[in-house]
Amino acid sequence: MLDFLRKYRVYVFEILFAVAAIAVDLVSKAAAFDILEDVPGGSIAVAEGIFSLTMTRNYGASFGVFSGKTTLLSAITGIGIALVLVVLIVRPKAPKILRYSLIMIFAGGLGNLVDRIAFGYVRDFIDYTFLETFFGIDFAIGNIADIFVMIAMGMLIVYMIFGYKEGDLSKGGRLAPQAVTVAEERGEQVEADVVEEKSEEAADETVEKSGAREETQ
């Protein structure tokens, strides 16, 4: 068991990270709704004009898009989660920033999918009132799962702009620097062996030709 954990510790940690993220999302939703159900209006101003907790049953996607289309949204979310999981499985050596951003998207999507299946709606409660106060933006009320997805999208943008290199999405991802060095050394050694072999063959041919001339004379 210990050998298994040592060998696959990176993947074990990723699984634990995903489970923890999903748990935080679901527990925070349950706790927020349990508190807000007993509050008049279902809202508490944590910091007036800055941040509030507002109980909202979202029957659609963000900003009320596809309201009432629970089955459709559940299907789309399920397909998206499955695709992310496939990428994580078939690209085990992709850069960490890419893998963890996908894990956060997976966790956020699964957290909201559980809500849609269990309740027929998503439990939202995080009200970004400062956006309306200072910028006049009536932003959607969200939850922890949404925050995970937004952070992941930000990570992906940073990665695509500054960190992406050809081969990151190829099967297995890029070779580690040590592996690249070893491969280059092996390549140089092979080239040296080929050159040496050709030199020996040329020398043998020269000797044979010299011997043939001597016999003719």
Catalytic residues, by residue number, are 124, 146
The DSSP code for 92 is T
123 φ, ψ (degrees, to nearest 5) = -85, 110
| DSSP bridge partners of 43 | 54
| Region of residue 172 (left: phi > 0; alpha: psi -120 to 50; beta: else) | left
Helices (H), the chain: 2-7, 9-36, 70-90, 96-119, 129-135, 144-158, 177-216
The encoded tokens of residue 197 equal: 């072999």
Residues 6+ apart with CB under 8 A from 60: 66, 67, 68, 69, 73
**Nearest to residue 11, comparing CAs of 81, 93, 113?**
93
**Nearest to residue 29, comparing CAs of 131, 148, 150?**
148
Give the whole-angstrom CA distance, residue 29 versus residue 89. Answer: 29
Give the whole-angstrom CA distance, residue 51 versus residue 133. Answer: 10
